[in-house]
């Protein structure tokens, strides 16, 4: 359902990604594993359309989406959970979760209901400001926000990084429970051994290019 081929991406004068390919099947949960600076975040941002391909192609459900804007990709059902969480501190949990629906035609009430069913703890903190949450709680909110539009493909950038073990386990359980025939997931990780979730395939990345992923 997603096919990234021979991706090259420049950030300023740095070629952050140079010849990276990735195939994700429908309903598959795949890992993108590499050290810090390997290019994982850039690949994720490129799939979301935040950074642009300088060479290569990107297909979603067989359609070339290389030139499509971010909000249109979100409208196709692609959701992104950034490593840095990217919450707006002064907005509440609920407002943060609903942010992506501002730029898509998603039924915000229906999606919010789904998100709260998956993560009831978010409903319990819905009116708290994001700045008052712990780092792990913020990751949960960022996952909820990705889920509001990410009905077909979820891009999770190091979802367990810097999260205390109990919350990391909860995040892992939530992500595992999302597995379905309709939803594909790409999850990046800096160390394969830290992956707590069952993956169908792991793509390795080093210095912006594919490498064979090391076994955990």
Ligand X SMILES: Nc1ncnc2c1ncn2[C@@H]1O[C@H](COP(=O)(O)OP(=O)(O)OP(=O)(O)O)[C@@H](O)[C@H]1O
| Residue 31 lies near ligand X (rule: CB under 6 A) | no
Distance, CA of 108 to CA of 105 (rounded, Å)? 8
Q: Residue 53's beta-bridge partner residues?
A: none
> Under rule CB under 6 A, which residues in 77-96 are in contact with ligand X?
83
Which candidate, 119, 78, 74, 83, places its Cα nearest to that of 101? 74
| Residue 41 lies near ligand X (rule: CB under 6 A) | yes
* Order of all β-strands in the sheet with 201-206: 78-81, 153-157, 184-189, 29-33, 201-206, 209-211
| Residue 159 lies near ligand X (rule: CB under 6 A) | no
- Residue in the block written with tokens 């810097």: 162
| Residue 210 lies near ligand X (rule: CB under 6 A) | no
Among residues 24, 31, 33, 39, the one that binds ligand X under rule CB under 6 A: 39
| Residue 38 lies near ligand X (rule: CB under 6 A) | yes
| Residue 40 lies near ligand X (rule: CB under 6 A) | yes
| Residue 162 lies near ligand X (rule: CB under 6 A) | no
Query: Shortest distance, CB of residue 190 to ligand X, whole angstroms?
Result: 5
| Residue 42 lies near ligand X (rule: CB under 6 A) | yes
Q: Are 188 and 19 in contact (CB under 8 A)?
A: no
Residues of the shown chain interacting with ligand X in the complex, contacts defined by CB under 6 A: 11-12, 14, 16, 34, 36-42, 83, 190
């Amino acid at each position: 359902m997603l096919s990234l081929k021979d991706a090259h991406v420049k950030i300023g004068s740095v070629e952050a990604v140079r010849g990276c390919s990735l195939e994700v099947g429908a309903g598959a949960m795949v890992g993108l594993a590499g050290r810090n600076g390997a290019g994982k975040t850039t690949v994720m941002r490129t799939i979301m359309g935040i950074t642009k391909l300088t060479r290569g192609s990107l297909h979603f459900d067989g359609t070339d989406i290389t030139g499509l804007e971010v909000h249109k990709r979100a409208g196709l059902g692609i959701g992104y959970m950034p490593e840095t969480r990217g919450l707006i501190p002064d907005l509440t949990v609920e407002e943060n979760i609903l942010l992506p629906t501002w730029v898509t035609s998603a039924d915000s009430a229906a999606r919010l209901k789904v998100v709260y069913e998956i993560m009831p703890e978010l409903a319990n903190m819905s009116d708290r400001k994001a700045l008052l949450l712990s780092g792990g709680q913020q990751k949960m909110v960022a996952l909820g926000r990705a889920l509001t539009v990410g009905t077909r493909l979820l891009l999770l950038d190091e979802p367990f990084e810097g999260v205390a073990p109990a919350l990391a386990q909860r995040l892992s359980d939530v992500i595992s429970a999302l597995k379905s025939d309709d939803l594909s997931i790409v999850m990046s990780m800096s160390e394969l051994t830290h992956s707590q979730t069952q993956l169908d395939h792991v793509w390795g990345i080093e210095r912006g290019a594919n490498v064979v992923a090391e076994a955990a």
